[in-house]
Amino acid sequence: MSKRKSRGFIVEALVSEAGGMLMYPALKLREMKRICEASDILFIADEA
């Protein structure tokens, strides 16, 4: 059985909701990025 590896991780840093915009705390985004870098996974923060 072959192992599969993720190539990228996409996160919506800003999330729209009925009352406005929600944001991940900067610490959580940094931790997500750190984990991706340690695992050689591309980290993509989609702001569009």
- State pLDDT tens for residues 5-36: 789 999 987 776 666 777 888 899 999 999 99
Report how far residue 21's alpha carbon sits from residue 34's, in angstroms, rounded to the nearest whole number: 24
* Global pTM exceeds 0.75: no
Q: So what's the pLDDT on residue 42?
A: 96
DSSP for 1-48, written as a single string = -PPP---EEEEESEEEETTEEEE--HHHHHHHHHHHHHTT-EEEEE--
pLDDT band at 38 (very low <50, low <70, confident <90, very high): very high
User: Which amino acid is it at 20?
Assistant: G
Query: 38, 9 in Cβ contact below 8 A?
Result: no
Residue 48: predicted pLDDT: 55
Say how far apart CA 36 and CA 17 lie, in whole Å: 27
